[in-house]
Structure 1
Amino acid sequence: MKLDEILQSLFPAGYSATPRQGLLSGSGKRGNGTDVHILGVIDDTPLGIEDAAQLASQVLDIARTPGDAPILLVIDSSSQRMSRHDELLGLNEYLSHLAKALFVAELHGHRSIGLLYGHTAAGAFIATALAATVLVGLPGATPEVMDLPSVSRVTKLSIDVLKEKAKTNPVFAPGLDYLFPTGAVHQIWDPAKPLAEQLETVLSQWPAEDTRAQLGLARGGRPAAQRIIDQVLALAGQ
């Protein structure tokens, strides 16, 4: 689905969203008349320091806004912008600041839904989609924390070996179908049905806590995380 089609299906009551240099901002109307803040990285844009700073500023502005209007974060990005300019100015800190801004907004009542509809990778993926309260995806989205050639270079394993391992351990592979079993992706939406109804389902069933480890255990894609969390909490006396 194209972005305009997605937003029309999400907000049949109307929306206003302005694209500018690879970023998106605006708002949409839910069926009950309340607002949803719309932010995003679009057009396969690499996320540089200026982009991360602008998004973080907008998120913090939302955090200061009275009420609990949620944030919809639509994602079709490249990776972070890996230029000398960005790296020397501390790109990692800018990305961290953006992720923390989303957390601050959540603490002030503005929870966020990341919506993967295109590509995203690496630090840009982590600081936006994975930093949202809940992450959903549309078929055809191609998220990856690290592509297989990069994983191969780091692990010294061949791509063929990694593809074979991915069949039983989805953390070795990029893609929506592999991230879903790990619990990183909460739901995969059906584009043949109205997206507004699927959005309302998420908004009406916010998890009380981070459930990604629980989902990873239940789906068989991340079997050890919840067990380790439980052990740490037990040792801490909680």
Structure 2
Amino acid sequence: MPAKMPLDAILAALFPAGHAVTVAEGLITGEGPFGDGRLVVVGIDGDTALGVEGALMLSRAVLDAVKAGESSGSRAPILVAVDSDSQRMSRRDELLGLNECLAHLAKALLLADHLGHPTVGLIYGHSAAGAFIATALATRVLAALPGADPSVMDLPSVARVTKLPLEKLEAMAASTPVFAPGLDNMVATGAVHVVLDPGQPLDAQLRALIADLPPGDIRDRLGRERGGRPVAQVIAERVVSQARGT
């Protein structure tokens, strides 16, 4: 697997003229000049687990960007940079409603997108489970850099939940991308829209991605076209049709 690109190198490539993005206790917040406007950056660095405080802090940063956009009429793109562990596995966080805090973060990103802020995820390291869903997968599109290692659930965890032998799951994952962790499988299922080239200017690649954002969530279509989720789009369309009574 290629070495992951460190956050400071990513930020330097995105903001050649400098930026005001900081990292505190693994949480990324800030912004910098981008084209004719600004790019807001939030996220998680250093394989940090996402807990209650982190989810609420990132939600606040996203909602502040939305509020600023409503006041100025200029709706800045929001980049969600991710190198995280899973959600924080502690009794304290669960008792404080970590599931609701993660949902709040995801809904804040969906609200920003709905109100005209282009939202792009960028996974450059690890991420898994609820932290992955509430950050990277809550954006309009998810880009990745070589060396990224995303998963919704690793196979040993799947084995514990399903009670299936790990060896059987590994065999299934070899031929079924939707079952398997890793960047290549996330690309095949359509979860990752594009893998960026670290050898080319990242700011230009991100501007091109934002300029060509799809009108909605097309992950199911990409999964069908790439062979990783051959029936998801058909099933989703059938559910929508039945819900509308058409």
Partner of residue 151, structure 2: 144
Following the alignment from structure 2 to structure 1, what is the Cα–Cα distance between the partners of residues 156 and 236? 31
Mapping of residues 8-157 of structure 1, within 5 Å:
8-30=12-34, 32-66=35-69, 67-157=74-164
* Structure 1 consecutive aligned stretches of length 4 or more whose deviation exceeds 3 Å: none
* Bigger mean CA deviation after superposition, 133-142 or 156-165: 156-165
- What percent of counterpart residues are identical? 54
Q: Residues 118 and 210 of structure 2 are in contact (CA less than 8 Å); yes or no, is this contact kept in structure 1? A: no
Q: Which consecutive residues of structure 2, in runs of 5 or more, have no partner in the other structure?
A: none
How many Å apart are 1:237 and its aligned residue?
Answer: 4.3
Which of 192, 201, 215 aligns to 2:222? It is 215
Which whole-Å deviations, capped at 9, do the CAs of 1:130-182 have from their partners, x for residues lacking one? 11111011111111111110111122222222222122211111111111110
- Matched letter for residue 157 of structure 2: S
Partner of residue 182, structure 1: 189
Following the alignment from structure 2 to structure 1, what is the Cα–Cα distance between the partners of residues 24 and 39? 19
Q: Which consecutive residues of structure 1, in runs of 5 or more, have no partner in the other structure?
A: none
- Matched letter for residue 206 of structure 1: L
SS at match of 1:19: strand
Q: CA RMSD in A?
A: 1.2
How many Å apart are 1:125 and its aligned residue?
Answer: 0.6
Following the alignment from structure 1 to structure 2, what is the Cα–Cα distance between the partners of residues 164 and 38? 39
* Bigger mean CA deviation after superposition, 49-58 or 13-22: 13-22
TM-score of the superposed pair, with normalisation by structure 1: 0.96
